[in-house]
Amino acid sequence: MSPTPRQLRQELADLLERLGALTDPGWRRAIEMVPRERFLGEAVFTQEEGAAGDEWRSMLRGRMPKEKWLELAYSDETWVTQVDGTPAEAAGSTTLGDPTSSSTMPSLVVMMLERAGIKDGESVLEIGTGTGYSTALMCERLGDSFVTSIEYDKLAAARARTALEAAGYAPTLIAGDGLHGYDKNAEYNRLIATCSVRYIPLPWMEQVSDGGTITTPLSGWMLGSALAHLTLADDGTASGRFLADGVSFMPARPHARPPRSSYVLGLGVERESTIDPNLLHGRTGRFVAQLGAPSAEKMGFGDQVILLDVATGSQATTRRNPDGEGWLVRQHGPLKLWHAVEDAVLTWLAAGAPDQSGFGLTVTREEQRVWLGNPDGPFWNLPV
Ligand X SMILES: C[S@@+](CC[C@H](N)C(=O)[O-])C[C@H]1O[C@@H](n2cnc3c(N)ncnc32)[C@H](O)[C@@H]1O
Binding residues for ligand X, rule: CB under 6 A, are 100-104, 109, 127-128, 130-131, 133-134, 150-153, 156, 177-179, 194-195, 249-250, 252-254
- Among 268, 138, 266, 143, residue whose Cα is nearest residue 194: 138
Q: What Å distances lie between residue 382 and 178, 324, 362, 370, CA to CA?
A: 19, 37, 10, 7
Q: Which is nearer to ligand X, 16 or 252 (CB)?
A: 252
Q: Which is nearer to ligand X, 167 or 344 (CB)?
A: 167
For residue 264, give the nearest of 326, 328, 338, 330 by alpha carbon: 330
Q: How far apart are CA 187 and CA 207, in angstroms?
A: 5
Residue 241 Cβ vs ligand X, minimum distance, rounded to whole Å: 24
**Which residue is closest to ligand X by CB?**
130
CB of 356 vs ligand X, minimal distance in Å: 19
Q: How far is the CB of 125 from ligand X (least distance, A)?
A: 11
Beta bridge partner(s), residue 363: 238, 368
Q: How far is the CB of 79 from ligand X (least distance, A)?
A: 9
Q: How far is the CB of 175 from ligand X (least distance, A)?
A: 9
* Between 28 and 241, CB nearer to ligand X: 28
CB of 59 to ligand X, least distance (A): 17
Of 148 and 317, nearer to ligand X (C-beta) is: 148
Distance CA 354, CA 381 (A): 19
Instruction: Give the span between the Cα atoms of 119 and 136, in whole angstroms.
Output: 15
CB 107 within 8 A of CB 128: no
Shortest Cβ 225–ligand X spacing (Å): 13
Which of 83/340 has CB closer to ligand X? 83
For the chain, the first-to-last Cα distance in angstroms comes to 56
User: Smallest distance from the beta carbon of 152 to ligand X, in angstroms?
Assistant: 4
Question: Which of 87/128 has CB closer to ligand X?
Answer: 128
